[in-house]
Amino acid sequence: MRTPLQVVRSNGKKPEPSRLEDGMKNRFLIFRLGGQEFAVEAARVRDIQHLRGAALAIAPSEGRPPSLTLNMPLNGKTIPVLSLHQLFGLHRTAANARNCLVVIETQERPNARLVGIVVDSVSRVELVSSRHQQPPPGDCPFNPQYLWGRIRLGEKWRPVIDVDRILNGGPQASVVAG
């Protein structure tokens, strides 16, 4: 049984139902990778599958970065799954009941496709005002070419990943092409 994600504002308060439609661009799915919080635009998330502690072997192929391809119960399609732990140089936690596969739709039109990312856990969806959204900083600990930007939640900034940039401009591009 799935647990619905709770939508909260960056100040911790629940929004009024009529305010939930205030621009999907201001909603972000918050998840953990290697002990750190990251975000992705919620409007692009198509599914979240709990992995229920299943150990996933992500094995490198010759000339390719580590990747994994799964058959997903999404209209019988096979989708590529990216290893963001390796891309961002983060320690991969042991398989547990909180691990999830987040399925994201790319923005490549007219041939948008689905891509999965394995995350340590998914925590919530946040509404973030545009004044708390910025491009990635120059001193970012992660390669800014893979980030859409960053969002401020409370006193901390969270990096927002950009799957399209990872697929089109980074070393993971061969995962989908092959």
Residue 3: per-residue pLDDT: 44
Give CA–CA dist 90/58, Å, rounded.
Answer: 14
Residue 170: per-residue pLDDT: 52
**DSSP per-residue letters across the chain:** -PPPPPEEETTSPPPPGGGGGS-GGGEEEEEEETTEEEEEEGGGEEEEEE-TT-----B--TTS-SEEEEE-SSTT-EEEEE-HHHHTT-PPPPP-TT-EEEEEE---SSS--EEEEEESEEEEEEE--GGGEEPPPTT-SS-GGGEEEEEEETTEEEEEE-HHHHHHHSTTHHHHH-
Report yes or no: 32 and 123 within 8 Å, Cβ to Cβ. yes
> CB atoms < 10 A from the CB of 31, how many?
24
pLDDT tens per residue across span 41-75: 999 999 898 887 665 555 554 555 555 555 555 56
Model pTM above 0.95? no
Query: Is the model more confident about 91 or about 37?
Result: 37
Residue 21 in this model has a pLDDT that exceeds 50:
no
Query: What's the token pair of residue 93?
Result: 């936690």
Residue 88: per-residue pLDDT: 85
Domain ranges within the chain, ordered by starting residue: 7-177
Give CA–CA dist 95/85, Å, rounded.
Answer: 13
Residue 1: per-residue pLDDT: 39
Give CA–CA dist 101/118, Å, rounded.
Answer: 5
